[in-house]
Amino acid sequence: MNWNSFIQSFIFILVIVILAKPLGIYMARIYIGKKAGLNVWFAPVERWTYKLSGIDPKREMPWKQYAISAMIFNIIGLVAVYAIQRFQSHLPLNPMSMPPVAPDLSFNTAVSFATNTNWQSYGGESTLSYFTQMIALTVQNFVSAATGMAVLVAVIRGFIQKQTETIGNFWVDLVRSTLYILLPLAIILSVVLVSQGVVQTFVPSVKATLVQSTKDAAGKEVLEQIIALGPAASQIAIKQLGTNGGGFFNVNSAHPLENPTPLSNFLEVISIILISAALCYTYGYMVKDRRQGWAILAAMLIIFIPCLLICMHFEQAGNPILNKLGVDQHSSILQPGGNMEGKEARFGITNSAIWAATTTAASNGSVNSMHDSYMPLGGLIPMWLMQLGEIIFGGVGSGLYGMVAFIIIAVFIAGLMIGRTPEYLGKKIEAYEMKMASLMILIPPILVLAGTAISVIIPAGTSSILNPGTHGFSEILYAFSSASNNNGSAFAGLTTNTLFYNVAQGLAMFFARYWLLIPALAIAGSLSKKKIVPVSQGTLPTHTPLFIIFLVMVILIVGALTFFPALALGPIVEHLMMYHI
């Protein structure tokens, strides 16, 4: 570790914390219906959207109707994305004449983008047309993110409303999330990214003559290089802001036309957790106790910052095997030092590690370096951040309602310890809320571990491993950790564009999204029916440093007990083996 790493990490965290309050207040005012600038200027657009769609914005929904509306909307989007891929050869904006996408890959991609996972078993520039990228994928980047934000707002209403059957209107929350929050931020970021050199065009790919010819795998001489282009900036902006992560190009934000400069890199990585962090303040604002929002943000940072520094440390320490061979891996004016394999020289280890920790903490999944090339313990950190349930920032909306599930568990445990009925924000936490919260915590680990176990014992799973041994196991564990927590990043080194992995991961992504979304809304519906209990001397304060530490320990213990055996078989034993070669 060096001062440059600490300074860059400090600036990154500081900017996030500074921006969280104003954006958080703005989003809260949007959802409450107070004047916030854009919702005044574009109110006619919102009204016409409801009128054209036949929606009554004043009609609130019980939680089951809210859940059914969200599910129907998302399934329609899933089917639409599948159909567009299958028929893309007959659709416009296909200058490179891309053929239809295979059925199993179309299914995987459709589920991936509908669930805000954005796992990619394909290369965007060599598989999808501009029409598919824009109309299928970019649209889902907006509405899948807006769905998560809408569900979070419904959960918040469960705490602030009393003795009512309803938790809001899904269509209103969806429209406001998209029109007043995601669209404006995406437009601003898109324009800035274009100014930095991110490509935004409809012209076909271009050819460039190589300075020195080379040969392909078949031994044929290659004189030209094809440079893929397309409407990338508009997709990249929302892929970051909506914690989607699906890259326009195959190598995602390591591509020079997707992330060309240090400034574009900084803005993109800030965008990954900007909304998720700000929603913590939105939460506190809406429940009328801003300390609650700061407490949640503090708990997230307490886990995130050490993970970031650990990842950075092991990457900067380099490879111990190379040390034995006498290779100088120290940073100097002549070399960056450390483990630079799989990293862009433009960004170096510090910015690569910041991105790796941020994208896996925030359910984003975009990358500016290849995680498969990280040192074993450096790669363990992104994997473990996902395995915690994508609640350390997490997806926009989904990360925070996942954290609420852990808060309910923590409050319940604390209530048992002091012999009182657990309460949170004036609502009693009873058996029903505990059952739903338990489902939200248990479903992702079941999907991860079951998917990994099946993949390592059947030929269809093991035949895709390109790196046998402990690292190959880590690649499979990472793949299902990513899919089953709706992250979307990949360890690589594993051929996932097969029938088995496309279907298995598609199912994992689907269940990980909607089997958590429905229990979250069930909690909201249950809480909204309850009266608010006045604060008394026996009420457990949930904004104090003591509760923050207690919450952090509950999260870490659950994560450690669940995944430590699997991690021991993968990255931990791989790390130990490096010192015995």
pLDDT number for residue 316: 93
DSSP string over 177-244: IIIIIIHHHHHHHHHHHHHTT--B--SPPEEEEEEEEEE-TTS-EEEEEEE---B-HHHHHHHHHTT-
The encoded tokens of residue 355 equal 């991105």
Distance of CA 299 to the CA centre of its chain: 18
User: Do residues 325 and 14 touch, judged by C-beta distance below 8 A?
Assistant: no
Give the chain's largest Cα–Cα span. 80
Calculate Rg over the CA atoms of the chain: 23
Q: Any idea where the domains of the chain sit in the sequence?
A: 3-577
Q: Measure the CA–CA gap between 101 and 83, rounded to whole angstroms.
A: 10
**pLDDT averaged over consecutive 10-residue blocks of the chain (581 residues)?**
88 97 97 92 94 94 97 97 97 94 97 96 94 96 97 96 94 97 97 96 92 86 91 96 94 95 96 97 96 96 96 93 85 85 92 96 94 95 95 95 96 86 91 95 96 96 91 95 95 92 97 96 96 83 94 92 93 90 64
Which pair of structure tokens corresponds to residue 1?
């570790």
Rounded to whole angstroms, the Cα distance separating 379 from 342 reads 12
pLDDT at 428: 93
Give the per-residue pLDDT at 218.
84
pLDDT value of position 324: 83
Per-residue confidence (pLDDT) for residue 581, from 0 to 100: 64
